[in-house]
């Protein structure tokens, strides 16, 4: 199953947050060539990808067999992260399964699927934990590993199971965006005493690369990654230590959470192209209620000893992640994490 050097990888979702980190990991030393799918090759993200070198862009949508076929053709490997927030859970599952089937038919030798935890199953099929964008990927992930029992010599396969990017806790318009209240960075989220297994995008690039570089061991593997399970009280403390700015976590009831900044989005479909009249389409509120319950009740696990072995220099704590970002921001002249934060500000719920 070993690739001929240099080998070519087709990436679906390459211009996205995850895909960009994965591609950087693949081409940084020119070991791999990447063909990345994008609906808009002239976009800022696509242009930035080609600037990395060893990257070409294929124009098109993943919801088109001819495009997928052209993408997989002549490639040794594939990294597929189908955007569930475009397609919605049901459509995502269809195109993810077709991607695997077309990849094997086109002669791809190793297929890595950008996966998320099958939270509903891990909870014992308890609907309080139903999270469409997790379950949609997680079901397909299990299906791929099952196919792999029969196909592993023809096309190897592995899952890279990630989780909420650490960046999400510090960015605007995410389910965990903090607000600045009287100068205090404040996370009001329904997490209780639970913890979120946040993933570092940079390390996702390393792990994806590891899977392609170590195919014999990786074949059939579900590599489930995270920095650590992040308790938000500790996240606020780390933020204070690193930036010097006051911060706090306030555990928030679900009703209050959904009456806050996300109120307008609560009843919208969790997938901008999903059919709102299809009864299988979850609303943002239902989807992200399950999401928070997964973390609040500790449903999702990680094997941190395995991650230490595979990636000895991995980012191991939210504080280390923050320190690296702080340094990077300064080196790039963007200022530290705390820039733009005014302790004098005393408004209600201004987003950080
Ligand atoms: N946000 C998180 O914390 C997180 C964590 C783990 C996993 N995920 C999962 O990752 C997926 C989204 O990827 P991302 O996080 O990298 O998001 P993102 O930054 O929003 O990127 C979305 C990517 O999907 C591509 N895309 C969307 N619709 C497409 C279509 N019809 N055809 C071809 N490409 C299409 C976009 O490409 P173009 O715009 O260039 O066409 C872009 O590369 C979702 O399924 C999400 O559940 C998210």
- Indicate the DSSP class of residue 3: P
Q: What is the pLDDT of residue 319?
A: 98
Average pLDDT for 39-60: 98
Which tokens go with 94?
A: 């269809």
Query: Over the stretch 226-254, which tens digit does the pLDDT of each residue have?
Result: 999 999 999 999 999 999 999 999 999 99
Instruction: Give the nearest ligand 1 atom to 20 CA.
Output: 16
Q: What is the pLDDT of residue 347?
A: 42
Which tokens go with 290?
A: 């399950």
Cα–Cα distance list, 290 to 12, 274, 315, 342 (Å): 26, 18, 27, 34
At which residue do the structure tokens 């590891």 appear? 210
Ligand 1 centre distance from Cα of residue 177 (Å): 19
**pLDDT > 90 fraction of the chain, expressed in percent and rounded:** 91
Closest residue to atom 2 of ligand 1, CA basis: 164
Ligand 1 centre distance from Cα of residue 346 (Å): 35
Q: What is the pLDDT of residue 329?
A: 86
Closest residue to atom 40 of ligand 1, CA basis: 38
Tell whether the model's pLDDT for residue 349 goes beyond 50.
no
Ligand 1 centre distance from Cα of residue 320 (Å): 26
Average pLDDT for 138-165: 98
Ligand 1 centre distance from Cα of residue 246 (Å): 33
State the pLDDT confidence band at 330, using cuts at 50, 70 and 90: confident
Ligand 1 centre distance from Cα of residue 24 (Å): 16
Return the higher-pLDDT residue of 129 and 336: 129
- 221 in Cβ contact with 159 (< 8 Å): yes
Other residues' Cβ atoms within 10 Å of the Cβ of residue 165: 19
The residue to mutate among 11, 16, 72, 141, having the most atoms of ligand 1 within 8 angstroms of its beta carbon, is 16
Q: What is the pLDDT of residue 5?
A: 64
Helices and strands (H and E) in the chain: how many: 14, 13
Average pLDDT for 219-228: 98
Ligand 1 centre distance from Cα of residue 16 (Å): 5
Q: Name all residues whose Cβ lies below 6 A of ligand 1.
A: 13-19, 37-40, 43, 45-46, 61-63, 81, 83-86, 116, 133, 162, 164-165, 168
CA 57 to chain centre: 21
Ligand 1 centre distance from Cα of residue 49 (Å): 15
Tell whether the model's pLDDT for residue 338 goes beyond 70.
no
Q: Is 268 exposed, middle or buried (0-12, 13-18, 19+ CB in 10 A)?
A: middle
Instruction: Give the nearest ligand 1 atom to 92 CA.
Output: 45
The pair phi, psi for residue 204, each rounded to 5°, is -60, -40
What is the DSSP annotation of 85-118?
HHH-HHHHHHHHHHHHHHHHHTT-SEEEEEE---
Ligand 1 centre distance from Cα of residue 110 (Å): 21
State the chain's mean pLDDT as an integer.
Answer: 94
Query: Over the stretch 95-149, which tens digit does the pLDDT of each residue have?
Result: 999 999 999 999 999 999 999 999 999 999 999 999 999 999 999 999 999 999 9
Tell whether the model's pLDDT for residue 331 goes beyond 90.
no
Q: Using CA atoms, how far apart are residues 323 and 321, in angstroms rounded to an integer?
A: 6
Q: Using CA atoms, how far apart are residues 56 and 318, in angstroms rounded to an integer?
A: 34
Closest residue to atom 27 of ligand 1, CA basis: 83
Give the closest residue to 119 by CA, choosing from 92, 142, 88.
142
Tell whether the model's pLDDT for residue 342 goes beyond 60.
no
Tell whether the model's pLDDT for residue 345 goes beyond 70.
no
- 3-state SS, residue 189: strand
Q: For 9-13, 18-22, 332-336, which range has the lowest pLDDT when averaged over its residues? A: 332-336
State the pLDDT confidence band at 344, using cuts at 50, 70 and 90: very low
Q: Is 193 exposed, middle or buried (0-12, 13-18, 19+ CB in 10 A)?
A: exposed
Contacts of 267 (CB under 8 A, 6+ apart): 283, 284, 285
Ligand 1 centre distance from Cα of residue 352 (Å): 23
At which residue do the structure tokens 């209050």 appear? 256
Average pLDDT for 315-335: 91
Give the closest residue to 213 by CA, choosing from 77, 38, 100.
77
The residue to mutate among 15, 72, 83, 160, having the most atoms of ligand 1 within 8 angstroms of its beta carbon, is 83
Tell whether the model's pLDDT for residue 352 goes beyond 50.
no
Domain extents in the chain: 7-166+196-224, 168-194+231-298+333-351
Q: What is the pLDDT of residue 244?
A: 95
Closest residue to atom 30 of ligand 1, CA basis: 61
Q: What is the pLDDT of residue 305?
A: 98
State the pLDDT confidence band at 341, using cuts at 50, 70 and 90: low
Q: What's domain 7-166+196-224's superfamily in CATH?
A: NAD(P)-binding Rossmann-like Domain (3.40.50.720)
The pair phi, psi for residue 250, each rounded to 5°, is -120, 115
Q: For 60-74, 124-138, 324-338, which range has the lowest pLDDT when averaged over its residues? A: 324-338
State the pLDDT confidence band at 4, using cuts at 50, 70 and 90: low
The residue to mutate among 10, 12, 13, having the most atoms of ligand 1 within 8 angstroms of its beta carbon, is 13
Give the closest residue to 218 by CA, choosing from 163, 162, 160.
160
- 3-state SS, residue 308: helix
């Amino acid at each position: 199953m070993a690739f001929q050097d240099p080998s070519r990888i087709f990436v679906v979702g390459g211009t996205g947050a995850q895909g960009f980190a994965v591609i950087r990991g693949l081409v940084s030393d020119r070991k791999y060539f990447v063909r990345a799918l994008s609906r808009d090759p002239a976009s800022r993200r696509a242009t930035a990808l080609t600037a990395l070198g060893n990257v070409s862009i294929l124009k098109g949508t993943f919801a088109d067999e001819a495009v997928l076929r052209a993408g997989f053709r002549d490639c040794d490997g594939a990294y597929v992260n189908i955007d569930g927030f475009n397609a919605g859970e049901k459509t995502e599952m269809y195109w993810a399964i077709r991607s695997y089937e077309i990849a094997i038919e086109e002669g791809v030798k190793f297929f890595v699927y950008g996966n998320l935890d099958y939270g509903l199953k891990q909870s014992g099929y308890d609907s309080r934990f139903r999270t469409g964008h997790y379950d949609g990927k997680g079901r397909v992930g299990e299906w791929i590993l099952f196919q792999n029992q029969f196909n592993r010599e023809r096309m190897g396969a592995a899952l890279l199971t990630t989780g909420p990017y650490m960046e999400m806790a510090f960015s605007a318009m995410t389910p965990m965006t903090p607000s600045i209240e009287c100068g205090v960075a404040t996370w009001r989220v329904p997490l209780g005493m639970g913890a979120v297994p946040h993933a570092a995008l940079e390390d996702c690039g390393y792990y994806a690369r590891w899977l392609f570089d170590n195919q014999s061991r990786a074949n059939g593997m579900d590599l489930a990654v995270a920095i650590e399970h992040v308790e938000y009280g500790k996240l606020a403390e780390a933020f204070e230590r690193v930036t010097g700015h006051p911060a706090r976590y306030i555990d928030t009831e679900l009703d209050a959470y959904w009456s806050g900044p996300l109120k307008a989005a609560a009843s919208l479909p969790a997938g901008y192209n999903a059919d709102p009249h299809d009864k299988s389409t979850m609303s943002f509120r239902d989807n992200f209620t399950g999401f928070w319950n997964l973390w609040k009740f500790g449903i999702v696990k990680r094997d941190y000893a395995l991650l230490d072995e595979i990636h000895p220099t991995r980012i191991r704590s939210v504080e280390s992640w923050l320190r690296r970002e702080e340094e990077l921001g300064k080196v790039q002249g963007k200022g530290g994490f705390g820039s733009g934060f005014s302790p004098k500000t005393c408004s209600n719920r201004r987003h950080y």
